[in-house]
């Protein structure tokens, strides 16, 4: 029974934030700066919230089934990393390019080197 439950959670469909209500809208540079200034206070404000982030694309990478879009955080030390499940993309040609201004919605997972948003969709 326990093995079946574990298999269910491992194989369950990936949830994204499409159709979910935005809790907070913020610019990528402002989000990164707030985390740099006070990570604990930022976690209270943003962690596990659905955030709409506007910013400039610095890099787009695909690793396995995930596409990562790095938004400019206004610092060479980091930015905002937005992870999109592969099945959420309609077409590779629709992915943003370096320098594009975009809006992404995702769930804030906190900060490591970058502020991390997961379960993202491009708005």
Residue 57 belongs to some domain of the structure: yes
Residue 102 belongs to some domain of the structure: yes
Q: Count up the domains in the chain and report the number.
A: 1
Write out pLDDT tens, residues 20-54. 899 999 999 999 999 999 999 999 999 999 999 99
Residue 110 belongs to some domain of the structure: yes
Residue 9 belongs to some domain of the structure: no
Domain that holds residue 69: 22-122
Residue 28, both tokens: 């990528």
Is this model's pTM higher than 0.85 or not?
Answer: no
Residue 3 belongs to some domain of the structure: no
Beta strands in the chain (DSSP E): 24-27, 50-63, 66-75, 78-85, 101-111, 115-122
Write out pLDDT tens, residues 58-98. 999 988 778 999 999 999 889 999 999 865 454 555 789 99
DSSP-assigned beta bridge partners for residue 68: 61, 83
- Total count of residues recorded for the chain: 123
């Amino acid at each position: 029974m326990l093995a079946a439950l574990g298999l269910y959670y491992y194989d369950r469909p990936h949830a994204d934030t499409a159709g979910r209500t935005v809790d907070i809208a913020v610019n990528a540079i402002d989000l990164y700066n707030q985390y740099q200034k006070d990570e604990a206070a930022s976690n209270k404000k943003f962690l596990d919230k659905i955030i709409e982030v506007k910013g400039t694309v610095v890099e787009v990478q695909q690793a396995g089934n995930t596409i990562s879009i790095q938004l400019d955080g206004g610092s060479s030390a980091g930015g905002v990393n937005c992870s999109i499940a592969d099945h959420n993309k309609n077409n590779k040609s629709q992915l943003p390019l370096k320098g594009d201004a975009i809006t992404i919605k995702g769930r804030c997972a906190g900060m490591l080197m970058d502020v991390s948003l997961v379960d993202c969709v491009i708005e």
